[in-house]
Structure 1
């Protein structure tokens, strides 16, 4: 009987030990699950979500777009200001005799095309020999400083143009090819001096073009005459009639050569130009101008 009791008691103890062990293993498994879950939650909080990163990138891109638009607007305003600034210097203007070198009269012109500004320098002898594109302009009072790039050189050459606006035009200077000149605005009217009047009067008779300069066997005739608005120079031929009739606004002498500042009376645009009047002995003279490329030898 005692043996039976001991056996039953052993079985009960064994069952209790087995059940208690299973509960302990289950509790350890639960604690492990909780411990592993906590770090994952912390890591998920530390890393930005995809939606947050996308929003930050979008804001950054939006700021860049705003900055780009602001720069573009600033450049557009600057370009508009430059256009208005250079308008004051536009149109072709003839060099004054005080800066003429080697009897070559140059012509300075600032002009606009498709929103861009350019500067051209030309002469009767060489035609257009310097062309530049203006890239920037700074104005202070009556002084202009322009950055430009040549379009005539084999390679682009950067240069700076310094222009001082004067009452009768402007003075232009650049270190590039040592260019310097004073250019008339073409609006001031100067009376021809008494000496100039005497010279023009001596050549008021009609002169005939010499054989050296005749073109296509056409003979042209030149003469100077005085009208109610001052002295004029006229050029005509039998084939074409009046080729040019210009009012002489002023006459200035440099290196013993008279330069006549003329406004065309037959051109609807009233083009202004300089006529070189090279007087020789026995009444012979030569005329030359960039206007219509007129050049000729004339004999009394």
Structure 2
């Protein structure tokens, strides 16, 4: 029997921390408009404003996750999130610092710890979900390759003095750009496959039907299409890829299989999302929680699931 998910997501209590964070960020990073911020940047007060901004954004992220999870209903039962803000901030702070110290190479570990916490503190019908995402050596290996390419590209473009020198022709720069693009697509697909959608509920295993490499061509076409349309088509291409992901997602146990389908309209829903993004830009980000609320309440009910014995 086919049933649709339902959504009643409310994120309005996220607006105040969003306003606070944006005001502080604008104040810190616009010295020409507010000259006194130059003084704050070199004082302890400047560091304090950065900390307050980071805490505001982390609080916003926490509240949005809680609002989204608890607004989704499956079989008239809501998901419940039992996470504690203090624990979430602790994880975010520790692994943000580690990621910065390692120049981004520890980012996979940061994602893993973050999703482990979020999933482990989410329950459905009183039963907790279990995160089974993992760090694959390949994603870390590709991250190292990407960092190396970026380093060489920066050296070449900024004319940094090094013991050896080399020149990059236009064709070489073009080739490096597409190599970076392909690497980014592979990493993005691997992250999605190994972390975002891999968890257990009771004896059910949730995940994608196919190996992550089968989704690389779709994501690559999406990136190329977005570039060719100067970013204007990114929302529509993103929806197209999400339709593919949803259809290939499943929850499987020894006795039952749950498959998913969708009724997302790429153009109508795409233009709706585009309008919400424009409102975010116009309001300098303050409208973000409301935009998320409206978009998710529109898209989630268009996702359906079918139970098969």
What TM-score does the superposition give when structure 1 sets the normalisation length? Answer: 0.25
Greater fraction strand: 1
Q: Which has the higher helix share?
A: 2
Q: TM (normalized to structure 2)?
A: 0.25
Structure with more contact order per residue of length (Cα contacts < 8 Å, sep ≥ 6) = 2
Larger Rg: 1
